Structure 1
């Protein structure tokens, strides 16, 4: 494991957690993250349950993950509560990151404007909610991953200069 480079991907899905369907989003996001040079990547699946999501986020942060991504549960459905679970663990929010991810999604799918994903910092980790579809998750990562090295450098006390 490279210090400061571990990634935890949390797929939020009742059906995937129950084994009713395979998790397609987690593996798609994992491929994108690995292609960006992160080799210490874990993928877990939890149900759409605030307590389960919050517990998994806290476990990832306590395990010294540098980047924690959630996939799914960011819409307006009755069980979409990933943003609420995330808000409970964040030390500070990064609204600009969430905004740019929604904008990227909106260019591909107008309904992405209904997304409520959050982004922020918890402990020493960058935590970001991504959409649940494999395509939308990967499109979001195309925007997010170039920002991650600078964000992690900042979290480690680095200078404010962009590379």
Structure 2
């Protein structure tokens, strides 16, 4: 399988300040690799400008898949979904509906996630698939279990491919 360029952005005030070790970002990198996506982790605080900059920088560096982890809950600093949605050309709500459904089978609070998924198109770069995951390793696993099998088809569609991959 050809490596797809990806990026993982951990959104956490505490991890960005060095107060705890990020485990969800490295887990995302490991799981994405099983689906042909090569990614590194960037850690940013729960700050709209930093989240926005992180996503845009990843896409400008060639990422076609960007997974954020953290900042999807209902806490006062949880702003990842709003910031991400501002960048979308198109939303893909069925993906996050399925991620929440899958997560709720293990952890009832998974339904509190406000995660978003969609397509970001920046002027000079190919469109990228961006998805938010909650900040736990279990939520990252649930997210990638849903999106991993879709990535190649999704990118093929974005690049003008046909609908025959799953026929």
- What TM bracket, shorter-length normalisation? over 0.9
Partner of 1:30: 29
Q: CA deviation at 1:95?
A: 0.7
Instruction: Extract unaligned runs of 5+ from structure 2.
Output: 122-126
Q: Are positions 1:132 and 2:135 aligned together?
A: yes
- In structure 2, the residue matched to 1:77 is 75
Deviations 1:134-157 (A, max 9, x none): 121112211110011110100110
Runs of 4+ in 1 over 4 A off after TM superposition: none
Listed as ranges, the gaps of 5+ residues in structure 1 are: none
Cα gap change, 1:4 to 1:30, in 2 (>3 Å): closer
TM-score by length of 2: 0.92
Equivalent residue, structure 2, for 1:60: 58
Checking the alignment, whether the CA contact within 8 Å between 1:4 and 1:152 is kept in structure 2 is no
Matches within 5 A, 1:114-125: 114-123=112-121, 124-125=127-128
Structure 2 residue 156 is matched with structure 1 residue 153: yes
Report the number of matched residues: 161
How far apart, in 1, do the equivalents of 2:68 and 2:152 lie? 18
Task: Name the TM-score, length of structure 1 as normaliser.
Answer: 0.94
Asked if 2 retains the 8 angstrom alpha-carbon contact of 1:13 and 1:45, the reply is: yes
Residues 4 and 36 from structure 1, CA distance in 2 versus in 1: closer, same or farther, beyond 3 angstroms? closer
